[in-house]
Amino acid sequence: MERVQAGMAAISMAGHDRGHLYLILKLEGDYAYLADGRLRTAERPKKKKLMHMQVIKSVPEGSRDSIDREYKNEEIKRILKSLKMTNSIQEV
């Protein structure tokens, strides 16, 4: 797997949330902390193994300048919505 960094988007490939689109907030070893701004907020991110998600390599427009920064839930929702519209990504 290529270098994954905070600010990239990812789709869950395993688990009860399979098919959901998230934003990677931070990385710790083999785990990523993910948020969607709705059910999984920035204050309560989902911890998921990197092998159980497909990382979207292009960094979304709103998160390019933000490797180690705090995200607000509204920002996360806006970033993911724009990514869905531009790349025609569909959630399950």
Confidence of residue 86 (pLDDT cuts 50, 70, 90): confident
Q: pLDDT for 2-14, tens place per residue?
A: 688 888 999 999 9
Opening angle at CA 58, ends 24 and 7, nearest 5? 25
Between 58 and 53, name the one with better pLDDT. 53
The CATH number assigned to the domain holding 50 equals 2.30.30
Compute the 3-state secondary structure of the chain and give helix, strand, coil in percent, each to the nearest 5: 25, 25, 50
3-state class of 12 per DSSP? strand
Q: pLDDT for 12-51, tens place per residue?
A: 999 999 999 999 999 999 999 999 999 999 999 999 999 9
Q: Model pTM?
A: 0.83
Residue 1 in domain: no
Residue 4 in domain: no
Domain tally for the chain? 1
Between 88 and 32, name the one with better pLDDT. 32
Structural domain including 52 reads 9-87
